[in-house]
Amino acid sequence: MPSLEFKGKQFVYSHHLSVPFRELKVEKDKSLPIQGNKASLDDNLIIHGDNLEGLKALLPTHAGKVDCIFIDPPYNTGSEGWCYNDNVRSPLMKEWLKKSANPVDKEDLERHDKWLCMMWPRLQLLKELLAETGSIWITLDDNEMHRLKPILDELFGEHNFISTIIWQKKYSVKSDTKYFSEEHDYMLVYSKNNGDFELHGLPRTESQNSAYKNQDNDPRGDWTSGDLLRMESRDYAIYEIVAPNGKKHLPQKGSSWRFNKDKLEQLIADNRIWFGDDGNSKPRLKRFLSEVQNTIPAQTIWKYNEVGSSDSAKKHLTAMFKDRDLPFATPKPLGLIEKILTVIGNKDITILDSFAGSGTTGHAVIAANKKDKGNRKFILLECEDYANDLTAERIRRSINGYSFKGTYKEEFLKEKISWRSLSKKFQQLLEKVDHIENEQLVNFDKIKKEIKDNFITVTGERKEENTMAGLGGSFTYCTLGDPIQVESLLTGKGMPSFESLAKYVFYTVTGCSIDKVAKASVDGLIGETNSYRIHLFYKPEVNWLRSNEAALNNEKVEAIKASRTKGKRTIVFAVAKFMSQKELTKNRIEFCQLPYAVHKIMGN
């Protein structure tokens, strides 16, 4: 498969492996746990820090467990002011970055190379975090679209490409442009494993169902008809069909029927062929509404009046933050993320956004959970200084409510219609609108019903004088701690906690994340997979590590043997052992001495 080459690729190709693991440090004062609970890493997460290191920090707990990734990286327009400063070890890379412009601007002739160098290791880690059934959705524009796709093909596999979605982000025409008034962005969608990936589609609308009717009172209900012709000639499917009232029909030249004669006779006998009201019309195949799926595939063009625009997103964010200036000219609208969640369908998933910005993804998850009582979780990573004052603050205000004076609007129905659907389903549509009005009127001053641009919308409107009601929810705010350096066991400085080292060791050995570390016990078991049982004897105390208690001895071996699961490799980490290797081998135990063995396992 062809691959894209760019300056620095050979140096960043495996850079994600050299990024140090860091502990996630909970900031209690900035977190918003459920009342009565403590801030926990099991909650929704907002992580402030470099997103490359933040992604690496998530591996021990979330590798292979993230269901959906949405990222909105810098578009690299040359006017965003982003910097490329990853600590790549190569002297050539350091010299290159020293000599080139930072932040990246339009005058930087190597800005595309830098952008690709920035994206490559992050995409590597995102792929490791993604579940086998998961998907990644990336928004961008014409600046890097054609460069990103080949590296996604290389990293995720060309066969895992799902689609390119067009999002109409603007609806007004720019008159100051030289050529075209640009109004869309792209969204590339890839799966982790195409064989395990599914999309649930969108609910069918009344407009789509209106094409079905029951012209012959068929007991199977409403139906629509489709062409019986195949636009190619096949000898076995060229024959004469006689209509009930005698008219004979042959396929036109160069075409043939879709079925052979025996199959067609079966369909006629089952009343699945329609010859029109007069019984002589060209035969057509009946398709019953009761036999079609309840959902339809999402289309690849997402219009602003369905998912929101950059302008509507900016107005929404401004309304939430009337007390401060915002650094975002083009935030993403809630509707864009909400539609992704709708298409995915699952209400019990984890969504990751490693370029969190204004926090739209977290807000959309909270709103979706409120709407359908889902149990989705979000993880947001933001490296800029506004991570607490804007990203996290938006989530706080979404959860608790916020000061707002003006008209709050909430859309309850938006459905494409036609005159035909109105005439056929008018009563059903009227009942649906009445139901919404009766149910929601208690929460709003009025329910606005409107037909415009072939859409019927039902919107609740309410004047707010003081606060906007909150949606509920919780999150934990984290920063990145010091790198986990197992060499610190030798010096006693900056030693990792037992839980952090356990998660780090477990992931390093197995390549799997661990939800919860088993509590310290006599056998030192911290967790197991289908193939491994991992044991760790460790305390972040210098005196303890230098004592006999820290060593693997006969008592610990007996405890390990007593709890062992047959057929699994038993790996034990400790600073020393008081057993011969011959004895350990006899008991099928692999001893790994801390700190050196960790590097041996990692291949460093």
Please give the C-alpha separations between residue 332 and each of 126, 368, 528, 538, in angstroms, as whole numbers.
21, 16, 41, 46
8 Å CB contact between 247 and 280: yes
Is residue 343 predicted with pLDDT exceeding 90? yes
Summarize pLDDT for 511-538 with one digit per residue, the tens: 888 888 887 778 899 998 888 899 999 9
Backbone torsions φ then ψ of 292, nearest 5 degrees = -90, 160
Q: Would you state the pLDDT for residue 360?
A: 96
Is a pLDDT exceeding 90 seen at residue 597?
A: no
Angle between helices 51-62 and 498-510 (to 10 degrees): 80
Lowest mean pLDDT among 263-272, 410-419, 439-448, 582-591: 410-419
User: What pLDDT was estimated at residue 101?
Assistant: 67
Banded model confidence at residue 424, pLDDT cuts 50, 70, 90: low
Read off the pLDDT of residues 48-100 as tens digits, 9 standing for 90 and up: 999 999 999 999 999 999 999 999 999 998 888 888 888 887 887 888 777 77
Please tell me the predicted confidence (pLDDT) of residue 201: 81
- Per-residue pLDDT at 604: 41
Residue type at 344 in one-letter notation: I
> How many C-beta neighbours within 10 Å does residue 388 have?
17
As separate numbers, helices (DSSP H) first and strands (DSSP E) second, the chain gives 20, 28
Tokens for 405, please give them. Answer: 């004076």
Q: Residue 370: what pLDDT?
A: 93
Pairing of β 569-574 and β 130-140: unpaired
pLDDT band at 198 (very low <50, low <70, confident <90, very high): confident
pLDDT in tens, 153-192: 999 999 999 999 999 998 777 777 778 888 999 999 999 9
Share of the chain above pLDDT 90, in %: 48
Answer positive or negative: Cα dihedral of 365, 366, 367, 370: positive
Residue 169 has a pLDDT of 92
pLDDT at position 598 is 57
Condensed to tens digits (0 to 9), the pLDDT of residues 441-476 reads: 777 878 888 887 777 888 888 776 667 889 999 999
Q: What confidence tens digit (pLDDT) does each residue in 208-219 have?
A: 787 888 999 999
508: pLDDT strictly greater than 90? no
Over the stretch 364-388, which tens digit does the pLDDT of each residue have? 999 999 988 999 999 999 999 999 9
Q: What's the pLDDT at 91?
A: 82
pTM: 0.80
Q: What is the average per-residue pLDDT within 3-26?
A: 90
What is the rounded CA–CA span in Å between residue 343 and residue 575? Answer: 50
- Of 483, 477, 468, residue with least CA distance to 382: 477
pLDDT of residue 423: 66
Secondary structure of residue 5 in the 3-state scheme: coil
pLDDT at 2: 82
- Give yes or no for residue 358 having a pLDDT over 90: yes
Q: What is the mean pLDDT of the chain?
A: 88
The pLDDT score that the predictor gives to residue 155 is 96
Structure-token match 């959705």, residue found: 137
